[in-house]
């Protein structure tokens, strides 16, 4: 009898731990401290638990320019959290008999072609959305990032054939946005609707996401929407919204906390809307959250995870030794977001921010998760705060050292002459980059197809220059290394980012520039 009572007490205590809610005042305080620690102007947070919204608030400012307060209804680009919607839409087409996950992509897009002919023939719709193409991290992203380029979806489809893989097909996880752009085109061709129209009419509206739109340009009322912000040379500044419309299937949706909580409730109700309408069969819904591409779990994993990987548009793992977690993050220039569900606990967490510092959303999400999983206070704010400060200091030290060398290079006598390097350099998928020189202004570098990518080209040594982009918010300066022929004339150039803080979508390292 004593043992029965003991185990009953243990089970009761465990249940209490797993349903404990972080106190509202405690969470308010944490978010305010997070704003300060990571220099984020505004954050909105929502928690869904056991059929109810238990927290939904905005903190700070939606914009440093207009100084208006951020609230839970403030619209934010959720970025790559859109990928789950793209896969849900494709699954609806599987239910409709118009598509199979293992259809070859060329069945629906005959002109689709990759670097390797065999991979081209074998590449499936499932491969498009599971980051196992063999292409490197962010390969080809310069075709849509930053905004202001003239690439089309057709260009993306035509140009991925020039992207040389870094690993063998289906052997490694390497995050890639362009495959999702192509997945959006598959949806368009099999459904007869644009990706944007399908997402809004077939998913957002039935789910009850009444304020959400499939892209920034489809938001007609921008009276309560964030401005994007980033840390630029030691100061947080407001920057323009930045997302190319062609990449909407990879990251275009604009939403807010109440709508994202409605999405969480809908998903954890097995794809059944509040009015009882099932949007996806149980079989296909189950398929979305099955692990497709495995990821390493490290021995010191913070949540005692046994497995981790990518499903169909979602990261999937277990936490606290058995609770399934389904989640994603998203990042645009000036915005990062996180969406997390633990279906076994009927728990959904949404964190939307207007500054591109992932440590902020990780601090808040992990603290909330911990309160429901029964972990004692692990002070994520302090951990991530120190890590963030050290990381910024490390990156600044790299950049400062490089520009110190640039300053000293002005006195070098071994620098190439303008006529040796000036000209047009062409990459098969990115097009032309011009290098110009004026006596008084020095060198400039400019992309022809991505008009916002231009800046100074500063000598570093006899073979290498530094591209210092005019838009300092990019934080993406790169080395430009020239190869010379026997006459001393440049024949090609390659690029490599200077500091690791550079966003992976600035994939300059994938360019193979040949002088014309």
Please report whether residue 8 resides in a domain. Answer: no
Q: Percentage of the chain with pLDDT > 90?
A: 92
The CATH number for 504's domain is 2.40.128.50
Average of per-residue pLDDT values in the chain: 94
- Domains in the chain: how many in total? 2
Tell me the three state secondary structure of residue 72: coil
Out of 392, 421, 452, pick the residue that ends a domain: 392
- 31 in Cβ contact with 342 (< 8 Å): no
Please report whether residue 29 resides in a domain. Answer: yes
Out of 392, 421, 450, pick the residue that ends a domain: 392
**In terms of domains, do 157 and 271 share one?**
yes
Please report whether residue 13 resides in a domain. Answer: no
Average pLDDT over residues 447-462: 97
Please report whether residue 55 resides in a domain. Answer: yes
Place of tokens 């494709």: 90
Measured distance CA(369)–CA(376) in Å, rounded = 11
pLDDT band at residue 415, thresholds of 50, 70 and 90? very high
- 339 in Cβ contact with 357 (< 8 Å): no
pLDDT band at residue 4, thresholds of 50, 70 and 90? very low
Please report whether residue 14 resides in a domain. Answer: no
**In terms of domains, do 119 and 202 share one?**
yes
pLDDT band at residue 21, thresholds of 50, 70 and 90? confident
Is it the case that residue 17 has pLDDT exceeding 60?
A: no
**In terms of domains, do 443 and 356 share one?**
no
Please report whether residue 268 resides in a domain. Answer: yes
**In terms of domains, do 333 and 425 share one?**
no
Model pLDDT for residues 382-400, shown as the tens digit of each residue: 999 999 999 999 999 999 9
Task: List CB contacts of 334: < 8 A, sequence separation 6 or more.
Answer: 227, 228, 229, 230, 238, 239, 241, 242, 354, 355, 356, 473
**In terms of domains, do 261 and 289 share one?**
yes
Out of 361, 392, 423, pick the residue that ends a domain: 392
- The pLDDT, as a whole number, for residue 15 is 38
Model pLDDT for residues 39-70, shown as the tens digit of each residue: 999 999 999 999 999 999 999 999 999 999 99
Model pLDDT for residues 121-160, shown as the tens digit of each residue: 999 999 999 999 999 999 999 999 999 999 999 999 999 9
- The pLDDT, as a whole number, for residue 18 is 41
pLDDT band at residue 5, thresholds of 50, 70 and 90? very low
**In terms of domains, do 503 and 456 share one?**
yes
Model pLDDT for residues 503-516, shown as the tens digit of each residue: 999 999 999 999 99
Reading the block at residue 113, the tokens are 């072609």
Please report whether residue 11 resides in a domain. Answer: no
**In terms of domains, do 381 and 419 share one?**
no
Is it the case that residue 20 has pLDDT exceeding 70?
A: no
Task: List CB contacts of 508: < 8 A, sequence separation 6 or more.
Answer: 142, 476, 478, 495, 496, 497
Measured distance CA(44)–CA(73) in Å, rounded = 8
- The pLDDT, as a whole number, for residue 321 is 77
Tell me the three state secondary structure of residue 364: helix
Is it the case that residue 352 has pLDDT exceeding 50?
A: yes
Model pLDDT for residues 476-500, shown as the tens digit of each residue: 999 999 999 999 999 999 999 999 9
**In terms of domains, do 194 and 277 share one?**
yes
DSSP calls for 108-128: H-TT---SSHHHHHH-BHHHH
Average pLDDT over residues 238-260: 95
**In terms of domains, do 147 and 245 share one?**
yes
- The pLDDT, as a whole number, for residue 242 is 85
**In terms of domains, do 458 and 331 share one?**
no
pLDDT band at residue 12, thresholds of 50, 70 and 90? very low
Measured distance CA(191)–CA(187) in Å, rounded = 6
Q: Percentage of the chain with pLDDT > 70?
A: 96
Model pLDDT for residues 192-216, shown as the tens digit of each residue: 999 999 999 999 999 999 999 999 9
User: What range does the domain containing 511 cover?
Assistant: 412-515
Cut 0.85: pTM above it: yes
The CATH number for 379's domain is 3.40.710.10
**In terms of domains, do 445 and 341 share one?**
no
Burial class (CB in 10 A: 0-12, 13-18, 19+), 296: exposed
Please report whether residue 397 resides in a domain. Answer: no
- The pLDDT, as a whole number, for residue 9 is 38
**In terms of domains, do 315 and 200 share one?**
yes
């Amino acid at each position: 009898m004593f043992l029965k009572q003991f185990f009953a007490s243990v089970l009761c205590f465990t249940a209490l731990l797993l349903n404990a809610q972080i106190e509202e005042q405690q969470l308010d305080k944490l978010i305010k401290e997070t704003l300060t620690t990571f220099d984020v102007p505004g954050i909105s947070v929502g928690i869904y638990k056991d059929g109810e919204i238990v927290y939904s608030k905005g903190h700070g400012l939606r914009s440093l320019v207009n100084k208006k307060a951020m609230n839970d209804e403030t619209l934010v680009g959720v970025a790559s959290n859109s990928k789950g919607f793209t896969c849900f839409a494709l699954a609806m087409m599987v239910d409709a008999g118009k598509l199979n996950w293992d259809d070859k992509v060329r069945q629906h897009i005959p002109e689709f072609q990759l670097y390797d002919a065999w991979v081209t023939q074998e590449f499936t719709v499932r491969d498009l959305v599971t980051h196992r193409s063999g292409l490197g991290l962010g390969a080809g992203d310069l075709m849509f990032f930053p905004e202001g380029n003239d690439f089309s979806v057709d260009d993306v489809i035509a140009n991925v054939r020039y992207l040389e893989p870094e690993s063998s097909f289906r052997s490694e996880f390497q995050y890639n946005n362009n495959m999702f752009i192509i997945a959006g085109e598959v949806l368009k061709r099999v459904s007869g609707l644009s990706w944007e129209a399908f997402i809004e009419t077939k998913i957002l509206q039935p789910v009850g996401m009444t304020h959400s739109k499939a892209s920034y340009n489809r938001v007609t009322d921008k009276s309560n929407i964030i401005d994007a912000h980033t840390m630029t040379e030691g100061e947080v500044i407001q920057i323009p919204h930045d997302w190319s419309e062609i990449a909407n299937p990879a990251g275009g949706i604009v939403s807010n906390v109440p709508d994202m909580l409605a999405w969480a409730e809908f998903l954890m109700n097995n794809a059944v809307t509040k009015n009882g309408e099932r949007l996806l069969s149980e079989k296909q819904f189950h398929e979305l959250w099955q692990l497709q591409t495995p990821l390493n779990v490290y021995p010191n994993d913070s949540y005692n995870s046994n497995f981790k990987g990518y499903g169909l548009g979602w990261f999937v793992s277990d936490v606290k030794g058995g609770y399934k977690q389904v989640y994603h993050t998203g990042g645009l220039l000036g915005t990062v977001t996180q969406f997390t569900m633990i279906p076994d606990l009927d728990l959904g967490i949404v964190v939307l921010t207007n500054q591109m510092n992932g440590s902020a959303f990780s601090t808040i999400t992990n603290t909330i998760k911990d309160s429901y999983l029964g972990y004692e206070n692990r002070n994520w704010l302090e951990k991530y705060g120190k890590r963030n400060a050290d990381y910024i200091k490390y990156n600044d030290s790299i950049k400062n050292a490089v520009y110190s060398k640039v300053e000293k290079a002005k006195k070098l006598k071994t620098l190439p002459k303008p006529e040796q390097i000036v000209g047009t350099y062409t990459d098969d998928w990115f097009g032309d980059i011009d290098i110009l020189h004026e006596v008084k202004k020095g060198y400039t570098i400019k992309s022809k197809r991505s008009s916002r990518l231009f800046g100074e080209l500063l000598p570093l040594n006899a073979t290498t220059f530094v591209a210092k982009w005019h838009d300092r918010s990019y934080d993406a300066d790169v080395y430009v290394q020239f190869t010379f022929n026997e006459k001393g004339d440049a024949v090609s150039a390659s690029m490599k980012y200077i500091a690791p803080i550079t966003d992976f979508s600035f994939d300059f390292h994938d360019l193979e520039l040949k002088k014309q």
